[in-house]
């Protein structure tokens, strides 16, 4: 790959997804574009780039973006945020004064759905505490391939053995051939939809709680700051945002502050207290 | 250092499991069937037991039921590790007192994830 081709591809990926790939990531392009080359019958990356330069939208462009997303995820990833959700965040939402209607939770980089379904299973476990309260979980992602898998609710034996306690597997999945399929009750609690975090959040409505984990790490600070601002707008005052274990708001935004007790949880700063830009 | 008893009638599997568990800092003992395992446990209860299902003499499920009836038989954390990977077997194992269940084939990542799940690894 020539430096010019790399410049073009990384600029294209950044514009379309926010994902920032420094030039030490040339190997990522080289390995991940292999299937795209064969699907679109290009002999090499140079030919792909020539075609992409002519048109930066359409199926080729979409496939290139999809190929450059990292969809790695697992059930109950890092465990702790999910313990916080079950023990503190969900009970907190239920106890909120003046609460009415469904509780809306957003899995903002849902990938293949494990995060959204983990939350749904915890809500099913909390049925008693929920009483009649409905929970709506929305999972969104940029990658159509990942979303299609999330929609199917179908996981391999390997995937259900990463993070998912066996009791949960027995309770909420059925076996189909070599795969495991999430139960209709859990499936019905979650909706998936294609969504780019670079776009306006307003079509999605507002949320009581947002999980935005392990996606901001791929973005530059400016993109992070812009997304934090939109996340804040989508939450009520004191609303909670859950980030990945390697992510933080420190030094990036004052629209969220650390939760006083719970690690990895960030609280929207009240409008009156934040220096709004 | 925590102890783990590996119960499997296949010497090859015991060896693979031993290597993984030793890397995870467990002291490992082996048994080739449920009866041998029970004899070991009567001398000293390990912290963890990695347990195959289909074995001669006394199988994994029979062993687990017997173990849980022993004094202090509830202490060891039992992780099934079996090619029986259907819901029926899993449900029976849980009902008999298994703490986790690994569906073979397994690798280091799965063992580590499952042992972490049940608190055997911090
Ligand atoms: C590593 S996964 C995170 C999955 C899950 N949240 C977790 O923590 O395990 C990152 C996901 O972010 C998605 N993604 C990357 N850029 C995005 C964007 N601009 N808009 C929406 N999703 C994006 C990718 O497609 C990928 O599925």
- Of the two residues B19 and A272, the one the predictor is more confident about is B19
Alpha helical stretches, state H, A173-235: 184-189, 221-233
| Contact: B94, A167; criterion CB under 8 Å | yes
Q: Are B24 and B112 in contact (CB under 8 A)?
A: yes
Using a CB-CB cut-off of 8 Å, the residues of chain A touching B119 are: none
Residue A37 has pLDDT above 80, yes or no: yes
- Atom number, ligand 1, closest to the C-alpha of residue A146: 27
**pLDDT classification of A273: cutoffs 50, 70, 90:** low
Q: A195: which 2 tokens?
A: 């969504």
Q: What is the per-residue pLDDT for A203?
A: 97
Residue A276 has pLDDT above 80, yes or no: no
Which DSSP category does A258 fall into? E
CATH architecture of B2-116: 3-Layer(aba) Sandwich (3.40)
Q: Is the peptide bond before B105 cis (omega within 30 degrees of 0)?
A: yes
Question: A145-170, pLDDT tens digit by residue?
Answer: 999 999 999 999 999 999 999 999 99
Question: B46-96, pLDDT tens digit by residue?
Answer: 999 999 999 999 999 999 999 999 999 999 999 999 999 999 999 999 999
Mean pLDDT of the region A11-38 = 94
Angle value at C-alpha A264, between A259 and A266, nearest 5 degrees: 40
| Contact: B110, A170; criterion CB under 8 Å | no
Residue A2 has pLDDT above 70, yes or no: yes
Question: A80-107, pLDDT tens digit by residue?
Answer: 999 999 999 999 999 988 888 899 999 9
B114 touches chain A (CB under 8 A): yes
**Ligand 1 pocket, residue A209 CB under 6 Å:** no
Residue A274 has pLDDT above 80, yes or no: no
Name which residue sits closest to atom 2 of ligand 1, judged by CA: A71
Q: What is the DSSP string of A60-89?
A: HHHHHHHHTS-----TTTTSHHHHHIIIII
| Contact: A161, B86; criterion CB under 8 Å | no
**Ligand 1 pocket, residue A146 CB under 6 Å:** yes
Q: Where are the domains of chain B?
A: 2-116
- Of the two residues A100 and A47, the one the predictor is more confident about is A47
| Contact: B114, A161; criterion CB under 8 Å | yes
β-strand A173-176 against A179-182: which pairing, if any? antiparallel
CB atoms within 10 A of CB A124: 17
- Residues 6 or more apart whose CB falls under 8 angstroms from that of A112 comprise A71, A73, A146, A149, A150, A155, A159
Q: CA A6, A12, A15, A20: dihedral to nearest 10 degrees?
A: -30
Domains and CATH numbers, chain A: 3-67 (1.10.155.10), 80-272 (3.40.50.150)
Residue B28 has pLDDT above 60, yes or no: yes
**pLDDT classification of B116: cutoffs 50, 70, 90:** very high
Edge to edge, the sheet with strand A135-141 lists: A190-194, A135-141, A103-107, A209-212, A240-243, A265-268, A256-258
Of chain A, the percentage scoring pLDDT greater than 70 comes to 98
């Amino acid at each position: 790959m020539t430096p010019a081709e790399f410049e073009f591809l990384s600029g294209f990926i950044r514009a379309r997804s926010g994902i920032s790939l420094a030039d030490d990531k040339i190997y990522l392009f080289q390995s991940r574009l292999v299937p795209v080359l064969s699907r679109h019958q290009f002999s090499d990356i140079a030919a792909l780039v020539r075609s992409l330069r002519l048109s930066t939208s359409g199926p080729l462009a979409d496939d290139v973006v999809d190929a450059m997303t990292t969809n790695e995820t697992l059930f109950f990833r890092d465990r702790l945020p999910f313990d916080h959700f079950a023990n503190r965040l969900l009970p907190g939402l239920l106890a909120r004064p003046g609460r009415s209607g469904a509780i809306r939770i957003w899995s903002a980089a849902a990938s293949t759905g494990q995060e959204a379904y983990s939350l749904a299973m915890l809500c099913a476990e909390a049925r008693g505490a929920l009483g009649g309260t409905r929970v709506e979980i929305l999972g969104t992602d940029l990658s159509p391939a990942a979303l299609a898998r999330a929609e199917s609710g179908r996981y391999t034996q390997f995937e259900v053995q990463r993070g998912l306690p066996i009791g949960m597997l027995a309770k909420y999945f059925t076996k189909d051939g070599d795969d495991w399929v999430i139960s209709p009750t859990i499936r019905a609690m979650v909706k998936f939809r294609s969504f780019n975090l670079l776009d306006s959040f307003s079509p999605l409505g507002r949320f009581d709680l947002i999980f935005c984990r392990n996606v901001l790490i791929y973005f530059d600070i400016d993109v992070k700051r812009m997304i934090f601002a939109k996340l804040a707008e989508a939450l009520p005052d004191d609303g909670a945002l859950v980030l990945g274990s390697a992510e933080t708001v420190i030094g990036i935004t004052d629209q969220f502050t650390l939760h006083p007790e719970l690690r990895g949880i960030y609280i929207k700063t009240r409008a009156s207290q934040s220096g709004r830009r | 250092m925590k102890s783990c008893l590996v119960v499997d009638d296949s010497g090859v599997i015991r060896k693979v499991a031993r290597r993984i568990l030793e890397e995870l800092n467990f002291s490992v003992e082996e048994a080739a069937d449920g009866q041998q395992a029970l004899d070991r446990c009567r001398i000293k209860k390990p912290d963890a037991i990695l347990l195959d299902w289909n074995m001669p003499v006394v199988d994994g499920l029979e062993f687990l039921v017997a173990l849980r009836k022993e004094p202090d038989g509830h202490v060891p954390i039992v992780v099934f590790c079996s090619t029986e990977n259907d819901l029926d077997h899993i449900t029976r194992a849980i009902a008999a007192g298994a703490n986790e269940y690994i569906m073979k084939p397994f690798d280091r990542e799965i063992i580590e994830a499952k042992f972490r799940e049940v608190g055997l690894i911090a």
